């Protein structure tokens, strides 16, 4: 068995500043060793530990899709020591990736179902991975209608803007983009909070799963909307964050009751969360 | 399995032979307490301790361990790439470990060796370490191993069980590795029936001396969320100062941190003991902290030992009754009393 603490060496290929506040940057990483890339088999919803020698590691959701070959993509919010250092790194620099870690959205279980994706702010990363994966010709037929509600504070805070526009124009996915508020006259989409927009657009619950990722306040107000629409708790899926170190269920800090968010999660159904202490 | 009797004056010779082939760790007196240390002279072994102050977990899970090293030199083609630090982890024999502390290793194994991932350092040290345990004649007033499913002569996690008799030691092999140690012991003779009877009597006496303080069954029956919301956590946490002594001493507390340390242009990634008693343990980068309050942290420690572990692995609890946290808690929080509250099953000893 491979040493699970040892990161794969990668090189930064590209750094994209995503948001107007410049606090979110997307890193495209390529493996230094081709055999490492072959060993890095992942599914949308999983995360990895980004490792910077001399700084430490941070657990970040994988924003690329397994259907996109040749690179991994991570969108990183600048909050602490490692992420601040990362934001100052340059294309060509060498760092590390350890993973893939954790579970993923229930892709097998969702086959043949409609999928409603609800995202807020910078929690859209593994949701991007999911959308790209489902829209891939190899997978699109496995899923029914795909509906996306994605909101940010203002237009400048939306991630992956070019892709959002491209998805808007497709007829095999329904996009509902929204911002909390804006004075931008060119904004032609919705204005309002994610829960309110979800309620207004009312995606059907029949034969459907909802994947909800966003800030706690958004999740809190979106859940009752989904329940009113008829989504049962076992078909409402979310992904949680926790402080992590090992990422493999050993270091002991990311538990909610019996479950380690890093290994037993980060993806949980609301049905499962209801059986656990409310400590997250 | 093989059972032999070695007279006291011949023990150093047997241990000396073990020292020829392995490093031997045993309790050594330091100040007014004992601690497991490397011992190189067989006549220096001292079995007169009750137990060591620090648990022997450090032998398998060191408080600080350098996992990887790297260079940060500009122009070095390997700069920024982590490499495993090679470690010579030869055979070791731990002499005189108490049955409770050995059981702790077994309880923690399920965390570090799983179907999906294996902690290479834990696993290698466990494989290379032979545990020669010493049964407890005289349990301390804070011992409660029989309440948590073990006992003063529990050989379940040992390779050899030693019983200290007036004239010598009864050595009983428990595993194949233990048998190998005893097979090469011309100092000993096959244990007579008298010796065996004498040893059984001592073990029974010791077990009788230990009170059963609570029942374990109710732990499985109670819902996790119900126990989590119990009102008694307020009282349990009241005096706690979050010093972390309990987690530091506990043989089944395994939580760790990972940190990078750089000296000039060379760095290492370290693994260090950590504690659920500290707020930083769970602090998110965003500033959010799911265990921000002392009550949440104290509850986490006891719930982990007596409920989460039990539910997750269908085994446990993750407590061996060594009593270190009871002895050294500066504000007298007593895990026996907390367990009795959680199980609502019995007498509170204090």
What's the distance, CA B27 to chain centroid?
A: 14
Q: Which of B151, B176, B209 is the last residue of a domain?
A: B209
Domain extent for B41? 3-209
| B77 occurs within a structural domain | yes
Q: Do the Cβ atoms of A93 and A15 come closer than 8 Å?
A: no
| B348 occurs within a structural domain | no
Do B26 and B155 have their domain in common?
Answer: yes
Residue reference for tokens 């909101």: A151
Q: Provide the pairing of β-strand A236-239 with A208-213.
A: parallel
Q: pLDDT digit string (tens) for B98-125?
A: 999 999 999 999 999 999 999 999 999 9
Instruction: Give the model's confidence band at B349: pLDDT under 50 very low, under 70 low, under 90 confident, else very high.
Output: very low
Q: pLDDT digit string (tens) for B21-46?
A: 999 999 999 998 999 999 999 988 88
Do B8 and B142 have their domain in common?
Answer: yes
* Interchain CB contact of B82 with A (< 8 Å): yes
pLDDT over threshold 80, residue B346: no
Task: With CB atoms and an 8 Å threshold, state whether A248 touches B117.
Answer: yes
Do B105 and B240 have their domain in common?
Answer: no
pLDDT score, position B350: 45
**CATH code assigned to A8-101:** 2.40.30.10
Q: Do the Cβ atoms of B155 and B133 come closer than 8 Å?
A: yes
Mean residue pLDDT of chain A comes to 96
Q: Do the Cβ atoms of A82 and A56 come closer than 8 Å?
A: yes
* Interchain CB contact of A161 with B (< 8 Å): no
pLDDT over threshold 90, residue B138: no
Sign of the dihedral through C-alpha B285, B288, B292, B296 = negative
Give the tokens for residue B271. Answer: 């693994």
Please state the rounded mean pLDDT for residues A188-201: 95
Task: With CB atoms and an 8 Å threshold, state whether A257 touches B281.
Answer: no
Q: pLDDT digit string (tens) for A158-185?
A: 999 999 999 999 999 999 999 999 999 9
Residue reference for tokens 């010598």: B168
**CATH code assigned to A114-239:** 3.40.50.80
* Between B221 and B135, residue with greater pLDDT: B135
Do B41 and B180 have their domain in common?
Answer: yes
Residue of B76, B121, B233, B260 to mutate, interface with A, max A Cβ within 10 Å: B260
Sign of the dihedral through C-alpha B341, A258, A98, A131 = negative
Q: Provide the pairing of β-strand A114-120 with A146-152.
A: parallel
Question: Could you tell me the CA-to-CA distances from B182 to A278, B102, B266 in Å, in that order?
Answer: 53, 19, 46
| B349 occurs within a structural domain | no
Torsion from C-alpha of B124, B125, B131, B134, nearest 10 degrees: -160
End-to-end Cα, chain A, rounded Å: 32
Please state the rounded mean pLDDT for residues B306-319: 94
Q: Which residues have C-beta within 8 Å of that of residue A232, sequence separation ≥ 6?
A: A271
Do B158 and B41 have their domain in common?
Answer: yes
* Interchain CB contact of A243 with B (< 8 Å): yes
| B261 occurs within a structural domain | yes
DSSP secondary structure of B221-264: HS-HHHHHT-THHHHHHTT-----HHHHH-TT---EEEEEEEET
Do B131 and B192 have their domain in common?
Answer: yes
Residue reference for tokens 């029936």: B193
**Minimal Cα–Cα distance from A280 to chain B, Å?**
5
Do B103 and B178 have their domain in common?
Answer: yes
**Minimal Cα–Cα distance from B316 to chain A, Å?**
13
The ipTM (two decimal places) reads 0.93
Query: Which B positions 83-142 lie with beta carbon below 8 A of chain A?
Result: 84, 111-112, 114, 116-120
Within chain A, all domains assigned CATH 3.40.50.80 are found at 114-239
B-chain CB neighbours of A240 within 8 Å are none
Question: Could you tell me the CA-to-CA distances from A268 to A118, A238, A259, B140, B320 in Å, in that order?
Answer: 15, 6, 10, 45, 33
Within chain A, all domains assigned CATH 2.40.30.10 are found at 8-101
Instruction: Pick the closest to residue B28 from B46, B14, B11 (CA basis).
Output: B46
A-chain CB neighbours of B262 within 8 Å are 54
| B265 occurs within a structural domain | yes
Do B36 and B8 have their domain in common?
Answer: yes
Q: Which of B209, B237, B267 is the last residue of a domain?
A: B209
Q: Do the Cβ atoms of A227 and A262 come closer than 8 Å?
A: no
Query: Which A positions 16-55 lie with beta carbon below 8 A of chain B?
Result: 32, 51-55
Please state the rounded mean pLDDT for residues A220-232: 95
Q: Do the Cβ atoms of B183 and B156 come closer than 8 Å?
A: no
Task: With CB atoms and an 8 Å threshold, state whether B81 touches A96.
Answer: yes
Give the tokens for residue A11. Answer: 């090189």
Q: Provide the pairing of β-strand B160-164 with B129-134.
A: parallel
Q: pLDDT digit string (tens) for B219-251?
A: 888 899 999 999 999 999 999 999 999 999 999
Do B126 and B266 have their domain in common?
Answer: no
Do B23 and B168 have their domain in common?
Answer: yes
Domain total in chain B: 2
Of B81, B228, B256, the CB nearest to A9: B81
pLDDT score, position B347: 54
Do B281 and B140 have their domain in common?
Answer: no
Q: Which residue of A has its CA nearest to B293?
A: A279
pLDDT score, position B214: 87
Q: pLDDT digit string (tens) for B44-86?
A: 888 889 899 999 999 999 999 999 999 999 999 999 999 999 9
pLDDT score, position A191: 96
Query: Which A positions 60-119 lie with beta carbon below 8 A of chain B?
Result: 77, 79-80, 83, 93-96
B-chain CB neighbours of A53 within 8 Å are 70, 72, 79-82, 260, 267, 269
Other beta carbons less than 10 A from residue A42's beta carbon? 19
d(CA B239, CA B350): 15
d(CA A66, CA A107): 13
Q: Which of B160, B176, B209 is the last residue of a domain?
A: B209
Do B256 and B296 have their domain in common?
Answer: yes
Task: With CB atoms and an 8 Å threshold, state whether A251 touches B256.
Answer: yes
d(CA B239, CA B315): 30
Q: Is A83 exposed, middle or buried (0-12, 13-18, 19+ CB in 10 A)?
A: buried
Within chain B, strands assigned E span 3-7, 23-30, 33-39, 64-71, 83-84, 92-97, 129-134, 160-164, 168-173, 189-190, 256-263, 266-273
| B350 occurs within a structural domain | no
Give the tokens for residue A178. Answer: 């929204």
Q: pLDDT digit string (tens) for A19-37?
A: 999 999 999 999 999 999 9
């Amino acid at each position: 068995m491979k040493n699970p603490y040892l990161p794969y060496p990668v090189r930064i290929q590209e750094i994209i500043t995503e948001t107007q506040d410049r606090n979110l940057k997307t890193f495209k990483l390529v493996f230094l060793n081709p055999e490492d890339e072959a060993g890095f088999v992942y599914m949308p919803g999983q995360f990895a530990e980004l490792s910077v020698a001399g700084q430490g590691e941070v657990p970040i959701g994988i924003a690329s899709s397994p259907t996109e070959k040749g690179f991994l993509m991570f969108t990183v919010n600048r909050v602490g020591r490692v992420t601040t250092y990362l934001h100052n790194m340059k294309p060509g620099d060498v760092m590390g990736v350890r993973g893939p870690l954790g579970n993923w959205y229930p892709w097998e279980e969702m086959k043949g179902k409609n999928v409603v994706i609800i995202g807020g702010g910078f929690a859209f990363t593994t949701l991007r991975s999911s959308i790209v994966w489902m829209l891939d010709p190899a997978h699109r037929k496995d899923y029914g209608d795909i509906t996306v509600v994605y909101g940010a504070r203002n237009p400048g805070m939306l991630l992956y803007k070019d892709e959002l526009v491209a998805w808007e124009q497709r007829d095999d996915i329904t996009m509902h983009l929204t911002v909390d508020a804006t004075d931008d006259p060119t904004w032609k989409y919705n204005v309002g909070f994610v829960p309110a927009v979800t309620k207004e657009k009312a995606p059907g619950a029949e034969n459907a799963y909802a994947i909800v990722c966003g800030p706690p306040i958004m999740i809190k107000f979106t859940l009752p909307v989904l329940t009113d629409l008829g989504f049962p708790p076992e078909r409402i899926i979310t992904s949680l964050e926790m402080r992590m170190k090992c990422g493999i269920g050993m270091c002991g800090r990311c538990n909610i009751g019996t479950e380690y968010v890093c290994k037993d999660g980060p993806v949980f159904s609301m049905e499962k969360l209801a059986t656990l202490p409310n400590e997250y | 399995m093989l059972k032999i009797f070695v007279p006291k004056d011949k023990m150093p010779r047997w241990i000396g032979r073990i020292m020829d082939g392995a490093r031997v760790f045993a309790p050594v007196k330091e100040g007014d307490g004992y601690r497991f240390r490397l011992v190189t002279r067989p006549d220096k072994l001292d079995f007169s301790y009750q137990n060591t102050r620090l648990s022997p977990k450090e032998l398998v899970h060191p408080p600080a361990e350098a996992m990887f090293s790297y260079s940060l030199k500009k122009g070095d083609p390997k700069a920024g790439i982590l490499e495993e630090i090679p470690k010579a982890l030869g055979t070791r024999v731990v002499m005189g470990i108490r049955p409770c502390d050995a059981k702790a290793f077994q309880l923690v194994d399920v965390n570090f060796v799983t179907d999906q991932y294996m902690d290479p350092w834990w696993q290698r040290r466990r494989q290379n370490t032979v545990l020669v345990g010493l049964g407890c004649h005289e349990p301390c007033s804070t011992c409660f191993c029989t309440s948590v499913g073990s006992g003063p002569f529990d050989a379940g996690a040992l390779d050899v069980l030693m019983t200290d008799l007036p004239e010598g030691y009864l050595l009983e092999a428990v595993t194949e590795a233990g048998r190998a140690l005893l097979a090469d012991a011309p100092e000993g003779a096959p244990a007579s029936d008298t010796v065996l009877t004498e040893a059984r009597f001592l073990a029974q006496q010791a077990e009788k001396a230990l009170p059963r303080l609570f029942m374990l069954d109710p732990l499985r029956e109670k819902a996790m969320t119900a126990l989590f919301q119990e009102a008694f956590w307020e009282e349990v946490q009241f005096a706690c100062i979050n010093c972390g002594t309990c987690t530091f001493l506990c043989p089944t507390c395994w939580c760790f941190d990972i940190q990078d340390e750089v000296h000039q242009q060379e760095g290492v990634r370290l693994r260090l003991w950590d504690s659920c008693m500290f707020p930083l343990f769970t602090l998110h980068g965003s500033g959010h902290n799911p265990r921000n309050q002392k009550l949440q942290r104290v509850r986490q420690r006891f719930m982990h030992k007596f409920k989460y572990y039990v539910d997750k692995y269908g085994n446990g609890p993750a407590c061996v009754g060594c009593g270190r946290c009871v002895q050294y808690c500066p504000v007298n929080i007593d895990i026996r009393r907390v367990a009795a509250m959680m199980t609502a099953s019995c007498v509170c000893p204090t």
